[in-house]
Amino acid sequence: MPAASDLGRDVVVVPPAGVMDDDDESTWTPWPDLQPELAGMVFCRLLSHGDRLRFRAVCRRWRLAARQQHPLPPALPWLNLDGRITYQSLPDGEVHRIPVPDELQAGGTVVCRGSFDGWLLYDRSEQLECFLMNPISKARIDLPYHWHCDDDDDAILPDYGEEEEGQRTMCFGENAVRKIAVCSPDLIAAVIAGSGVFFYRPGMHSTWLFASGGPCFARDIAYYNGKLYSISSDGELFVHEFSDSISADIVIGIAPQAYSCQGYSWRSTFYLVISCATGRLMMVRWRWHLPIFYNVRRWGVDELRKEIKLDVFEADLEKRRWLEVKELGDQALFLGTSCSRAILSSDYGSCIFFSSLNITRLCSDGIINGIGDCAYCVYDMKNDTFRFDNPVSIKREGLSYGSDGRWRADWFFPCE
């Protein structure tokens, strides 16, 4: 498996010094004459969003070749390194900073609460305003700041203040919002920690609504084949209906059992991902074999390689069961609390990327023994091996910590 720092390096195109736009004849080079088909093939091999931007800047013909690539494979993601401002590009370790735009601060203090796929969540709590924004395209989706509360919903969320009868204020803090998914132009869903699934339908509702009947402790959600699915902390798969009434049904029972040794138990986390190869819904179970009574300490790499397991399952919705997946082909999976995605990559086929936070939240000082400050980890399904030596690109001090004393790592997928 190639090192992350080497990914895409063999295809990054840097034109010779002196190359000018193709309509400037004062300096001629053969680069603009590269056939559009070849230029397009090169462009599709660039896995870094930054490299794609630089490619388009070479000349007009290359920009045209880039525009003609449909569908374009997604670029590899960035990983948040601090309080939602600094990101590290996965292919090359390049650091990107996305400060809150000045024009957003004009109406009061705005705080970035996290990244969700290609969106950033901004919160202006003093004015009770919240919205998603794509920092590249500048697209914006305004979100309601309240959720509709029925009499039966009194115990769903902590009381953050009741503004009107039947309404309560949503909490958009980092430790409350696990995930927001823009399912379609008329459906946005969210997972609130310890509460369940909420949804908002622009143009139809003025508040969030609680998706009753779903898991109380939803771990993840995914929009698949026009329906919203959620998964519980036990691996139960739910499907939600939002037609004439709001309902949820269990589609598949709990995930296949993982047996543990006496005195040990599995600490598990579940993720939902849509396969980019088969188009089917998958569930990934990340688990760590820990003593029932354990101490927070610096875990060593050799220990982690023995005690951490990842299982991939495919949902058989017709027979209502999970089917184990042994290999992913040319797919690479990126797992995160706020976003998980599958990407086609022959270089990283059958590799699963996950945040080091899964481990460092149980490590003293947030450090893996022998590794240091690790940004992310990689599991290769082909040879059943792990890589933990993926350092962060900056020295992280004075971070914005969550309630568990560790920074929350989010994947961000730059898209236009």
The domain limits of the chain are 33-73
User: 409 by DSSP, 3-state: which?
Assistant: coil
Mean pLDDT is highest, among 27-36, 106-115, 343-352, 390-399, for 343-352
Q: Span 266-291, mean pLDDT?
A: 92
Q: What's the pLDDT at 321?
A: 93
Of 50-59, 260-269, 271-280, 390-399, minimum mean pLDDT range: 390-399
Q: What percent of the chain has pLDDT over 90?
A: 28
Q: How many CB atoms lie within 10 A of CB 386?
A: 17
Q: What percent of the chain has pLDDT over 70?
A: 81
Q: What's the pLDDT at 28?
A: 53
Using CA atoms, how far residue 244 sits from 181, 202, 241, 247, 261, in Å, is 22, 16, 9, 10, 48
pLDDT value at 344 more than 70 = yes
Cα radius of gyration (the chain)? 23
Q: What's the pLDDT at 230?
A: 94
* Cα separation, 81 vs 88, whole angstroms: 7
* Cα separation, 367 vs 361, whole angstroms: 9
> Strands 146-148, 167-169: parallel, antiparallel or unpaired by DSSP?
antiparallel
* Cα separation, 233 vs 44, whole angstroms: 38
Q: How many CB atoms lie within 10 A of CB 158?
A: 10
Q: 């400050």: which residue's tokens? A: 373
User: 351 by DSSP, 3-state: which?
Assistant: strand
The chain-wide mean pLDDT, for the chain, equals 80
Task: Give alpha helix (H) positions in 172-326.
Answer: 301-307
Q: Span 81-102, mean pLDDT?
A: 82
Q: pLDDT (tens digit, 9 = 90+) per residue, 27-41?
A: 555 666 778 888 888
* Cα separation, 31 vs 14, whole angstroms: 10
Q: 């481990």: which residue's tokens? A: 359
User: 56 by DSSP, 3-state: which?
Assistant: helix
Q: What is the pTM of this model?
A: 0.84
User: 314 by DSSP, 3-state: which?
Assistant: strand
Minimal CA–CA distance to 149: which of 162, 134, 167, 123? Answer: 167
Q: pLDDT (tens digit, 9 = 90+) per residue, 2-53?
A: 444 443 333 333 444 444 444 554 555 566 677 888 888 888 888 888 899 8
pLDDT value at 315 more than 50 = yes
Q: pLDDT (tens digit, 9 = 90+) per residue, 139-198?
A: 999 999 888 776 555 555 555 555 566 677 887 777 788 899 999 998 999 998 877 899
Q: What's the pLDDT at 245?
A: 64
For residue 370, the Cα-to-chain-centroid distance in whole angstroms is 27
Q: What's the pLDDT at 393?
A: 65
Minimal CA–CA distance to 235: which of 211, 271, 267? Answer: 271
> Facing residues of 380 across strands?
351, 385
Q: pLDDT (tens digit, 9 = 90+) per residue, 118-153?
A: 999 998 888 888 999 998 888 999 999 888 776 555
pLDDT value at 273 more than 90 = yes
Task: Give alpha helix (H) positions in 135-278.
Answer: none
